[in-house]
C-alpha cells in the first residue's frame, strides 16, 4: 500500500472516529453499544421519570406515550421509575419530544438513554 493511500486511510479513520456517536453502556448493564440518534433503526429508549408513585397518576403518562409515532410497545416500571419504550425502525421521536410528553403528563424526565436493537429479520 502506498504512503499516500495509508495517509488517506488514516484521515478517513480519524474523521470517522470524530463524528461517530460516543459508545455507551446499555441500560441493563449489557455490552457497550453505539448510542442511536432519533431517526435511526429500531431502538430501546429508557426514560427515567420522577414522581411515578401510583397508577392513577401514572396512567396519563402511559396514555400520552402510546400516541407517539413509531412506538412498538412500552412498559412502565414503578420500582425503578423507568419507562421503557421500543421504537420501530425509522421512528423520529427525539429526546425533546419525549421530555415534552412527560412534562405534559405532570412529571419530569430525569434521564433518557437509547440503545439500538437488531433490525427485525
Give me the residue label for grid cell 416500571: 77
- Closer to other proteins by Cβ: residue 77 or 89: 77
Q: How many CA atoms lie within 13 A of 78 on its CB side?
A: 8
Q: Which three cell numbers stand for residue 44?
A: 430501546
Q: Which three cell numbers stand for residue 57?
A: 397518576
Please report, as residue ranges, which positions from 55 to 94 form the binding site for other proteins (by CB under 8 A).
55-64, 67, 75-81
47 lies in the binding site for other proteins (CB under 8 A): no
Chain-centre distance for alpha carbon 30? 15
Closest CB 91 distance from other proteins, rounded Å: 18
The interface region with other proteins, picked from 5-13, 39-47, 52-60, 87-95 by CB under 8 A, is: 52-60
107 lies in the binding site for other proteins (CB under 8 A): yes
Query: What span, in angstroms and rounded, lies between the C-alpha atoms of 63 and 88?
Result: 18
Contact residues for other proteins, defined by CB under 8 A: 48, 50-64, 67, 75-81, 103-108
Amino acid at each position: 500500500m502506498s504512503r499516500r493511500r495509508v495517509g488517506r486511510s488514516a484521515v478517513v479513520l480519524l474523521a470517522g472516529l470524530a463524528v461517530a456517536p460516543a459508545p455507551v453502556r446499555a441500560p441493563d448493564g449489557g455490552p457497550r453499544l453505539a448510542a442511536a440518534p432519533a431517526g435511526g433503526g429500531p431502538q430501546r429508549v429508557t426514560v427515567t421519570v420522577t414522581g411515578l408513585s401510583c397508577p392513577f397518576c401514572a396512567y396519563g403518562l402511559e396514555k400520552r406515550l402510546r400516541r407517539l409515532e413509531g412506538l412498538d410497545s412500552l412498559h412502565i416500571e414503578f420500582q425503578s421509575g423507568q419507562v421503557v419504550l421500543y421504537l420501530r425502525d425509522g421512528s423520529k421521536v427525539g429526546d425533546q419530544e419525549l421530555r415534552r410528553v412527560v412534562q405534559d403528563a405532570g412529571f419530569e424526565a430525569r434521564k433518557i438513554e437509547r440503545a439500538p436493537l437488531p433490525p427485525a429479520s
